[in-house]
Amino acid sequence: MVLLRKLFGNQLVEARLPSLESIYRFTSTAWENQADALSVEGVRYLLIGEAPPWSEGNEVVYFYNERCKPRSLMNAVRKAFFGEETHQKMEIKEVLQRLAKQGFLLIDSIPFAMDYSNGENRGKGAYADLVRFCASSYLLRQMESYGIRRNDHLKVAFSLKKNAEIIIDYFSDGFMIPGRERKIQVTEENIATNKANYPCGNKLREIYSL
């Protein structure tokens, strides 16, 4: 929380602390349920995101919340896996079930749901410090937990350019997950965004060789 307070200020973080905790509990449970639904082969397609979005209302906004209206990330992922026409006809519950069967898993690099896109937050040194700290601890723990080490044909993509650039630089020699024989190598070619820096289904399809 120290780095989060450094980026957003003590007052805002303190005011949002109860919501941060409830959002974290919800997203952690939803993520674990999705990870448990993966096939026995484990993760084949890994997408590293930034963080769960900040949620203002009663419904937690999250990729793995099937009650949420699809956002840009979900639209890009389901377009990549199921095509332009098919993905719009599918309910989110069905999308998530089929993604799990195909070995897709989203892992956020930061567990704290805050407004990282507001203002110039992503350009601050405190943001880079937060990403590096969470990538070296939280992200690696999540990756170690659910079958990623079992698949030597793992394909990795990133959903946000600035976040990805920091992680790629931090793991410039690749990152090792206990139980895997080889390091996971990532470069800017793994960033799945368009020119407007939104998640791009076509780029994801290319990275994943779908």
Please check the confidence at residue 184 and state whether its pLDDT lies above 70.
yes
Q: What is the per-residue pLDDT for 91?
A: 87
Please check the confidence at residue 149 and state whether its pLDDT lies above 80.
no
Q: Are strands 155-158 and 45-49 parallel, antiparallel or unpaired?
A: parallel
Q: Which CATH number fits the domain that encloses residue 197?
A: 3.40.470
Read off φ and ψ for residue 47, nearest 5 degrees: -120, 120
On whether the CB atoms of residues 95 and 102 are closer than 8 A, the answer is no
CA separation for the pair 80, 129 (Å, rounded): 32
Domain that includes residue 15, residue range:
2-208
What average pLDDT does the segment 15-44 reach?
91
Q: What is the per-residue pLDDT for 171?
A: 93
Q: What is the DSSP letter of 118?
A: S
Domain count for the chain, please give it: 1
